[in-house]
Amino acid sequence: MLRTTNYSSPIGEYPNLLSYDSFISITFFGGGKVIYLMSTSELKTFKTNLFGPFYSLTRTKSVELTYDHDSPTVKEMLLKLVERFPKMEEYIFEEGRLAEFTTIVINGDLVSDQEWDDIHLKPEDRVSLFKGQHGG
């Protein structure tokens, strides 16, 4: 049973202490437990739309990613996507670069593989990830 920092009352007696917009970090000191709460309002949420094989791999049209800083780069976003969906790596990266025919569009503008590490995202940006088709 989790207890609050005074070690005497179960955390269930404090229903307003925990909410859906918070998460718990538990740190152990000796035999006691210290519980810290951090509001997710301190985290920034960024939405990425997925198309083609990215949709097929994830079975979702969009993914929300959270960061503890205000403006992650496009590369950070891609690395976080791969962390969450490891099978996406072969579709996104080739030898440390953006894979051929992988297309990133931010607010209607194409992102080239030369600038993907320099462009910083804002929470309101519309980010879309495509994989181009080719063949005959």
Question: What is the domain-level CATH number for residue 93?
Answer: 3.10.20.30
Q: Quick one: 121 and 90 in the same domain?
A: yes
Instruction: Evaluate whether residue 5 is within a structural domain.
Output: no
Write out the residue range of the structural domain in which residue 28 sits: 11-41
Instruction: Evaluate whether residue 125 is within a structural domain.
Output: yes
Q: Quick one: 49 and 94 in the same domain?
A: yes
Instruction: Evaluate whether residue 1 is within a structural domain.
Output: no
Q: What is the dihedral of CA 11, 43, 92, 55, to 10 degrees?
A: 70
Q: Quick one: 80 and 99 in the same domain?
A: yes
Which pLDDT does position 68 carry in this prediction?
85
With cut-offs at 50, 70 and 90, classify the pLDDT of residue 44: confident
* pTM metric for this prediction: 0.66
Instruction: Name the domain count of the chain.
Output: 2
55: Cβ–Cβ under 8 A, 6 or more apart, which residues? 61
